[in-house]
Amino acid sequence: MPGDIIRYSCCCGMRGVVAPGVMGLSWDAGSEEVIAYNPKIEAIETMSRENAKNRNLRIYRNPFLNDPMGFTKVIKNCLCPKCNNATLEFERLGVWD
Ligand SMILES: [Zn+2]
């Protein structure tokens, strides 16, 4: 099962690349890679859902999940977990599987 490669950036300086999705052929626990905000380093990271839950981090939904065909390239005006403004942008760079 595939995942997305996503670049995020905000005018507050938070930026990076994450790759949420599902590794392997099934949805068994631990194989799902999610994106979560890590306040310690003020960045969104890719990690397993289990890891994010254990660390009590806020999990974000893959913003491109509803568009598996890849028509949407950029999603603007998302709420930034660092500065709390709706100035966070996600750009889909590609997919992985
Ligand atoms: Zn921000």
Alpha carbon of 11 to ligand 1 centroid (Å): 6
Whether residue 5 contacts residue 16, with contact meaning beta carbons closer than 8 Å, is answered with: no
Alpha carbon of 82 to ligand 1 centroid (Å): 5
Alpha carbon of 88 to ligand 1 centroid (Å): 6
81-93 pLDDT, tens digit each:
999 999 999 999 9
Alpha carbon of 13 to ligand 1 centroid (Å): 7
Tell me what pLDDT residue 25 has.
61
Alpha carbon of 80 to ligand 1 centroid (Å): 5
Please name the helix (run of DSSP H) or strand (run of DSSP E) that holds residue 94, with its range, or none: strand 88-96
Domain of residue 36 covers: 3-96
Q: How many structural domains is the chain composed of?
A: 1
Q: Going residue by residue through the chain, which has 97 residues, state the pLDDT in tens, using 9 for 90 and above.
A: 688 999 999 999 999 999 999 876 655 554 789 999 999 999 999 999 999 999 999 999 899 988 878 889 999 999 999 999 999 999 999 988 7
Please name the helix (run of DSSP H) or strand (run of DSSP E) that holds residue 93, with its range, or none: strand 88-96
In the Cβ-directed half-sphere of 75, how many Cα atoms lie within 13 Å? 19
Output helix, strand, coil percentages for the chain, rounded to the nearest 5. Answer: 5, 45, 50
